[in-house]
Structure 1
Amino acid sequence: MWGIVPAAGRGSRIQPLAFSKELLPVGSRTLNDTQRPCAVSEYLLERMIRGGADKICFVIGAGKSDILEYFGGRFGSADLAYVVQPQPAGLCDAVFRARALVAPTDTVAIGLPDTIWFPDDGLAALPDDELSFLLFPVERPEQFDAVILAEDQLHVTEIRVKQPDPGTHWIWGAFKMPGAVLHELHDLWRQRNERDEYFGTLINAYLAAGGNALGIKAGEAYVDVGTLQGYRSAMLMLSETRGEGIDAPDGGMRESARVEVRT
């Protein structure tokens, strides 16, 4: 399974930094009996691996070679690859930069590298053979891509991208699909003159054309670390995860740590 990590954005909401936002230290991990800082994007990579990924592709900007230098060619049990998005042009453009690596028979998982969410094995709840979204309940759904489900509470009928009062508190935090669907979505995106910046609007067009998508309510907590407020909330959440000092990303999730922030 491939994991695709779109990491070409400027990170303007949390600048100035002296490095790519995906390398922002959040919590720590123990390696060879030594604690070291943990880059925020490591949490997503670990979750992808727990969900079945054995190959992960970073999509980076031309000026973000520090990500390559930090991670190198392997993370845990997964091989890493890198492709370049020359200019920040939205999530759709970033994800589709990696399509040449993905065979139709592959499975693909996609997540955002400046987020931390629980449970850390949430991707395993998504099927490999259908387009499916891992959903999280949040207090401010208008700041995210809210997912509307049919009466069966399973099939996606619409994604409302950052709309006021979207009518649901469930948002997507990651998604998975067969490689063949990734290529179908790319073809549709090209037919629409590549005008979709957000995946939500492209998925709506895909559904209108007869496509199918599932929404799986397996998420518990979701934090966007792309702002200073979100960074503080992530540190608090990780601290509460074990009820002691921060030591992540390999812990469970306590009820008291269910927070989410995005501005």
Structure 2
Amino acid sequence: MWGIVPAAGQGTRIQPLAFSKELLPVGSRVDESGVERPRAVSEHLVERMVRGGADKILFVISPLKSDILRYYGGAFGTASVAYAVQERAAGLCDAIFRATPFVRPEEPVLVGLPDTVWFPEDALRELPDDRLSFLLFPVARPEFFDAVDTDAEGRVREIQVKRTGAATNWIWGAFKMPGATLHALRALWEARERQDEYIGTLVNAWIARGNEAWGVRAGRSYVDVGTLNGYREATQLLGGMAAQLPGSAGAEQGEGVA
């Protein structure tokens, strides 16, 4: 299974940085020698992809983001790591479809955003392998994201891209599909003259042509770390989750994260 990480964006909302935004330290991890070290924000996504079954990770990077290659090298845990280049930032669809030469039709594909932190960590396991499905999270301000309107069975009616007055507060944070669907979506994107910058508008066209997409409400907490305020929220979220671990002071006092 492939995990696709679109990481070619410029990160203008949180600049200036001296490195790629995907390497922004958010939280920490303990290395093989038992030393606690800062964790790059994109590690949260990659770790969740590996938990979700990915054994191959593809970073889509710009020519200026060689620091991501140096950071991850050729492997992350049990997963192999590869790279594709997006010469210029041309939207999420363009980035995702850079993966099509790597993906066989029978291989499932996971897609997530490398400047986000979300829980539960194993939520990607809830997504089926055989259909296009979105992992959904409840948020207070859905107009800042892509809200996913579903029917009672979870079938997607519409993805509302950064729309004021969205019909739902459930947004997508990651998605999964068969490799054959990835190739079919690329063919549709090209037939539409590559006009779709956002995956939401492309999926709406996909649905309008009689295809299906599904939403799975398995997410609990979601933070976009692409802004300074989001960075603060992610730090608070991770601190709250750490407080709930067995033996921590927060767990003993019953603290939690809203």
TM-score interval, normalised by the smaller of the two chains: over 0.9
Structure 1 unmatched runs, 5+: 246-253, 259-263
Q: Deviations over 1:27-68 (max 9, x none)?
A: 110012101110000000000000000000000001000000
Equivalent positions of 1:1-263 (< 5 A) are 1-31=1-31, 32-152=33-153, 154-243=154-243, 256-258=256-258
1:80-134 deviation per Cα after TM superposition (whole angstroms, max 9, x unaligned)? 0000000000000000011100000000000000000000001000000110000
Q: Per-residue CA shift, 1:212-240, capped at 9, x if unaligned?
A: 11100000000000000000111111111
Partner residue in 2 for 1:250: none
Kindly report the root-mean-square deviation, in angstroms, between the aligned alpha carbons of the 2 structures. Answer: 1.2
Distance 1:18 1:2 in 2: 29
Superposed displacement of residue 255, structure 1: 7.7
Residue identity (%): 61
The aligned counterpart of 2:250 is: none
Residues of 2 paired with 1:240 and 1:65: CA distance?
33
Give the secondary structure class of the aligned counterpart of 2:54: coil
Deviation at 1:244, TM superposition (A): 7.8
Post-superposition CA distance 1:129-155 (Å, at most 9, x none): 110000000000000000000133x10
Measure the CA separation in 1 of the matches of 2:216 and 2:244.
Answer: 31
Task: Give the TM-score normalised by the residue count of structure 1.
Answer: 0.93
1:14 is matched by which residue type in structure 2? I
Tell me the CA shift for residue 167 of structure 1.
Answer: 1.1
Tell me how many residue pairs correspond in the alignment.
Answer: 249
List structure 1 runs of 4+ shifted beyond 2 angstroms.
none
Q: 1:88 to 1:255 in 2, by over 3 A?
A: farther
2:26·2:41 contact (CA, 8 Å) conserved in 1?
yes
Question: Secondary structure at the residue paired with 1:58?
Answer: strand
| Post-superposition offset of 1:257 | 1.8
How far did 1:256 drift? 2.8
Q: Could you say what secondary structure the match of 1:109 adopts?
A: strand
Aligned pair in 2 of structure 1 residues 6, 237: CA closer, same or farther (>3 Å)?
same
How big is each residue's C-alpha offset from its partner over 1:144-195, in whole Å with a ceiling of 9 and x where there is no partner?
000000133x100100000001110000000000000000000000000000
TM-score normalised by structure 2 residue count: 0.95
SS at match of 1:197: coil
CA distance in 1, matches of 2:143, 2:167: 9
Separation of aligned partners in 2, 1:137 and 1:101: 33
SS at match of 1:165: coil
Q: Contact (CA 8 Å) 2:243, 2:256: kept in 1 or not?
A: no
